[in-house]
Structure 1
Amino acid sequence: MVIRVGPGSANHSMIPESTHGSAINATFTVEPTTIQPNSSNADETPEGIITRRNVIFSVGGPNAGTLSLSAIAVSSANEIFLADRYNHRIHIHNMEGAYLGNFPTLVPGYAVYVRSMIPQDMSIDGKDNLWVVGHISQLCSAVVQYSKEGQGLSIFQKCGERYGGIAVDLRNNHIVLKQVNKLEVHIYRPDGSLVRKIGGKQFAYSNAVVVNNIHGSILMLKENTVRVVLYNQYGQDFYSFGSRGSGEGELMVPTDICTDSSGQVIVAERRNRRVSVFTSRGEFVRHVRTGQKMVKLVAVGPKGQLVVTYHFDDTVTIFSTY
């Protein structure tokens, strides 16, 4: 089912309030927020390991309550969007850590009753609209396009499919969806029409998926072999890189992946408590130490900021560079 939401349709835009409904100002600075100067707090070891601390903030403000962060994305205007599975919401912060508000992940097109979805992953298109994939039942997934303010713009639903990962191909606006616990990727047009299904026994089980918008390759994490695998748009294996371990170019329990404007590949490593940076061809560049907490999600801002979340923790760290 495909629904295009017009101006007269019911929608729920962003509200400047916390999960518990206490009103806050849009310029509210989250406490505790730690801002430390880059020059005095950047350290590169002879091994090429960079450690930087810049901005640290708690998602949703000090009274947010229980959260379960499932995805992160950054707009061209430096807004940080964080999907919250537990509360069915998208939280929004700026690069200074200030909480800008949130909006519920409602499924547009339901005039009789309100229906929400559990957000699993999200991606941003070339117009800074959010594409969020989520579960609306045990058997059905929905893909909703929201404005940055939370207005539902379009939706398509797929019953019989459960998707856990999403990426937008900025070259053609195709929506790339990774099936949960299946060896398939489905590529759709924004109207919900299927372009193709690709997959096979070589595909990774991880739900993390991203499109390198320089050459259009699809990148995924292959958890069983601890590798990053690149496929073309037809599912052919380009190449892979990474191996199990803690040395240069090695990975331990990778949990998320993204690319930057130059095509570099950034991988979040839970076990090694770091982020690893590779070229678009898979050559190791450096490790970025993120402290003692286990890294979960990673995204890159338009000015080269590295944005990281953690397991068992609702804080975000913004590194000014990596």
Structure 2
Amino acid sequence: MASDDFDEQFLTCSICMLHFRDPKVLPCLHTFCRECLQEWATKQQPLECPTCRTQVSLPNQGVDGLRTNFYINNHLLDFAAAKKGTEPGVPCQVCEGNVEGSKSWCADCATLLCESCCAVHRKLPFSKDHEVTPEETLKAEEGRRKFHRKRHCDKHKKYELEFYCESCKALVCTACTVVDHRPGKDHNPVEIATVAQKKKQFLQALLQDIDPRLKEIQASIKEFDRKISNLAPSKEAATDQAKAYFHQLIVLLQKREREILSQIDERCQADGKVLQTKKEAIEFELAGLTSAQTFCQQAVEHGSDVHILEVGNQVQTRVENLLAKQLDLESDWSEFQFVENTAVSDFKKDLQDLGGVKTKIDVLKCEVVVKPAVQGFECVAELTTMNQEGRPCVTKSKAVTANMKDPSGTDVPTQLQMKSWGVWEISYIPNISGNHRLEVKVNSQHVPGSPFVVQVKGNPVLTIGQKGSGVGELNLPLGVAVDKDGNIAVVERGNKRVQIFDKDTGQSLHSFPVDGEKPYDLDVDSNGMFLVTSWGENFGLRRYSKEGKLLDTFKPECMGDPHGLTVLKDGRMVVVNRPQQRSCLLLQPDGSLIREIGKGQLQHPAFVSVDESRDVMFVTDKGAHKVFAFDLDGNTKFDFGKEGQNDGEFQNPRGVTVDRAGNIIVGDCTGRVQVFGPDGTFICIRTVATVKGNDVGGLALTPDGYIAVACWKGHCIELYRYM
């Protein structure tokens, strides 16, 4: 890092190849000029990092909303300019003289000063406290480590950033701790050095995890290179064997010779393509990890406390994602050779079986996994072709066939595509429900279990519960959520309990009673604890253990009758508060109020959901027949919907949730569940035409692409295929 070449690399934008201008950091930790990124963003949607091709979801402010790389902007660029100023022939930037004299650099003014001007500079009232770096420090090997420009508060320009408000996750100055971030239940300003040291220690631990992974990936790439280098000799040897064998059969076997040579070429090309593709994928991961290592190391070794806090969380997220990513580093390639299957004397009777390209597919070890199938949706089964050692192995596409018939015996079109090394995806769209037959063959032989019976379900795929108070029965189910195990949790107003059901069978697993007169909604936090709202007598927000033990009760002064609820990943909670306040409360994990949102705009709010990728919350309003969108700072973003039964209209909307793409899913009292884009534009009635009881309560998406709908008047939960 001390070399000039390395400095130049760090100071140069890889798009314009010039020194950075207002450098912005992407989530993948690559840095570019703000203007370069803005131009790049106009050429492609979605935006991809120009270096590593990682897709980037820009904030609402676009490129301007990305974090500035202050390490480059306020450190490396300043240091480069200051160091250049120490070279012979560079004049003072104040008096424009003293070309040969010693120079110093004022970090606060970003100005090069000669000895005379520096002496005056230190005496002036406005600049006597400025941080001035002498030429000796700039030239020293450790000069850059000590070279940091002071960071000042955007709101209080003359104050440095000296504190970090842990509640708001923001850097603040002394004045901020008196005005906007006064210590108390809502704010907790801590000295920067304390927080930065903890973050630096965590990043140092991450750095220790990178080196073993780098060595593992590099060793894998070396092995790929070795096997790729053996492809040509294997091809040459197999070709020579085939030509020698077929030379004895010139007249009758010329056609067959061409076929075998074609098979060899196909084998070589297929293996070479797969090996090269996999090698490139691993090299891609290596590049990403190496880049993250370099960025992380620079932040730890040379970044200021401010810089550590600016990028620490971003670095942590990027490195942890890279380290957690599962990589297949095995090549799984075996050399092929030409095989003489038939003696020359017997060639007449065995003409069609003469020769072939030997592969190591063992049909008896091939495996097929049939995934749940739903009428009208694209469904898949996965075939893994195995070698004799039971490891995934590649074969040519002509060797694999898949055929499906519906219950009436009609063919169902299937598509076959290799998704990864030895793994083939068989996709199909069934038009009717019932048992289908799927035949899967490799080299004209049935794989074990073929033909498979595929049960195609209609929509809904599962109905859970009926009216009652016994095990597995429901009484006025309103809130629904998915627990840490993927099972479906339901809060029942009638039975005043939470009941958990198996998502595959609908069987009741266990239940526990809850306090409060009228339980309404529930959610599950990152630790698997249940949070339940209830209104009426003894209202409140309560936290229960996985087993149903009451742990906490939250009743802040601002809370009236809590209804809808959602819990964020960091433990904060958003609670619909009505009827008096008619607002939403953003609460800390301990139940203390952060802020009130939507007061004066909401009429009859019911349920709430949060898109954490955008920090936007969506509230259904039964009185206004709308959905309102607010950011978590309390600002109104937009609203959509009106009273009616046409597409995009509502009758008393209740349940709301958000899918992975940011689409907003809303249910209402007509029994419809409608899907809207992230901006509130109507897309479709995607999964539910009508639901039992004709009144939708809460909604919840499962990790495997289903949506659970609380039919509170029908006293059941219906599970629909969503995607």
Say whether 1:210 aligns with 2:609: yes
**Counterpart secondary structure, 2:634:** coil
Give the number of the structure whose residues are more often helix, by fraction: 2
Q: What letter is aligned with 1:122?
A: L
Q: What letter is aligned with 1:102?
A: S
**Identity, % of aligned positions:** 22
Structure 2 residue aligned with 1:39, among 375, 379, 389? 375
Q: Could you tell me how far apart the structure 2 residues matched to 1:121 and 1:144 are?
A: 11
Q: Could you tell me how far apart the structure 2 residues matched to 1:262 and 1:59 are?
A: 33
Distance 1:157 1:252, change over 3 A: closer
Q: What letter is aligned with 1:55?
A: L
Deviation at 1:167, TM superposition (A): 1.6
- Matched with 1:166 is 565
Say whether 1:241 aligns with 2:650: no
Mapping of residues 213-232 of structure 1, within 5 Å: 213-232=612-631
Q: Could you tell me how far apart the structure 2 residues matched to 1:126 and 1:102 are?
A: 20
- Matched with 2:711 is 310
Structure 2 residue aligned with 1:193, among 592, 615, 620? 592
Q: Could you tell me how far apart the structure 1 residues matched to 2:469 and 2:583 are?
A: 40
Q: Which runs of 5+ in 2 are unaligned?
A: 1-371, 378-429, 433-457
- Matched with 1:13 is none
- Matched with 2:459 is 52
Give per-residue Cα distances to partners, 1:116-152, cap 9 Å, x unaligned. 66422112222232111224x63x5322222222133
- Matched with 2:539 is 141
Does structure 2 retain, via aligned residues, the 8 Å contact 1:43–1:52?
no
Give the aligned CA root-mean-square deviation in angstroms. Answer: 2.8
Q: Could you tell me how far apart the structure 1 residues matched to 2:500 and 2:636 are?
A: 36
Does structure 2 retain, via aligned residues, the 8 Å contact 1:176–1:186?
yes
Moved more, 123-132 or 284-293: 284-293
**Counterpart secondary structure, 1:313:** coil
- Matched with 2:511 is 102
Q: Could you tell me how far apart the structure 1 residues matched to 2:508 and 2:524 are?
A: 19
Does structure 2 retain, via aligned residues, the 8 Å contact 1:54–1:320?
yes
Q: What letter is aligned with 2:722?
A: T
Deviation at 1:179, TM superposition (A): 1.3
Structure 1 residue aligned with 2:479, among 59, 71, 91? 71
Q: What letter is aligned with 1:81?
A: A
Give per-residue Cα distances to partners, 1:71-100, cap 9 Å, x unaligned. 111124221111112222101101121111
Deviation at 1:66, TM superposition (A): 6.7
Deviation at 1:315, TM superposition (A): 1.7
Q: Could you tell me how far apart the structure 2 residues matched to 1:162 and 1:270 are?
A: 21
Q: Could you tell me how far apart the structure 2 residues matched to 1:61 and 1:200 are?
A: 38
- Matched with 2:278 is none
Distance 1:43 1:315, change over 3 A: farther
Does structure 2 retain, via aligned residues, the 8 Å contact 1:204–1:220?
no
Does structure 2 retain, via aligned residues, the 8 Å contact 1:75–1:302?
no
Structure 2 residue aligned with 1:283, among 672, 681, 687? 681
Aligned length: 268
Q: What letter is aligned with 1:198?
A: I
Distance 1:311 1:62, change over 3 A: closer
Q: What letter is aligned with 2:632?
A: Q
Does structure 1 retain, via aligned residues, the 8 Å contact 2:617–2:629?
yes
- Matched with 1:295 is 695
Does structure 2 retain, via aligned residues, the 8 Å contact 1:117–1:142?
no
Distance 1:283 1:224, change over 3 A: same
Q: Could you tell me how far apart the structure 1 residues matched to 2:467 and 2:510 are?
A: 8
Structure 2 residue aligned with 1:150, among 548, 552, 565? 548
Q: Could you tell me how far apart the structure 2 residues matched to 1:37 and 1:61 are?
A: 31
Q: Could you tell me how far apart the structure 1 residues matched to 2:691 and 2:664 are?
A: 22
Q: Could you tell me how far apart the structure 1 residues matched to 2:584 and 2:431 are?
A: 40
Give per-residue Cα distances to partners, 1:209-264, cap 9 Å, x unaligned. 22222212121113333221101123221011123333332223322111123322
Does structure 2 retain, via aligned residues, the 8 Å contact 1:105–1:118?
no
Distance 1:319 1:66, change over 3 A: closer
Q: Could you tell me how far apart the structure 2 residues matched to 1:237 and 1:303 are?
A: 32
Deviation at 1:103, TM superposition (A): 0.6
Give per-residue Cα distances to partners, 1:164-191, cap 9 Å, x unaligned. 2222122x32111211223222221121
Q: Could you tell me how far apart the structure 1 residues matched to 2:531 and 2:600 are?
A: 28
Moved more, 76-85 or 245-254: 245-254
Moved more, 56-65 or 226-235: 56-65
Structure 1 length-normalised TM: 0.74
- Matched with 1:83 is 491
Q: Which runs of 5+ in 1 are unaligned?
A: 1-35, 45-50, 107-115
Say whether 1:120 aligns with 2:495: no
**Counterpart secondary structure, 2:715:** strand
Give per-residue Cα distances to partners, 1:272-315, cap 9 Å, x unaligned. x2210112221222103343631322211111211112242112
Give per-residue Cα distances to partners, 1:49-75, cap 9 Å, x unaligned. xx8221112158894567122211112
Q: What letter is aligned with 1:38?
A: V
Q: Could you tell me how far apart the structure 1 residues matched to 2:528 and 2:660 are?
A: 15
Q: What letter is aligned with 1:100?
A: L
More relative contact order, 1 or 2 (CA 8 Å, 6+ apart)? 1
Give the structure with higher Rg (CA).
2
**Counterpart secondary structure, 1:192:** coil
Distance 1:309 1:198, change over 3 A: closer
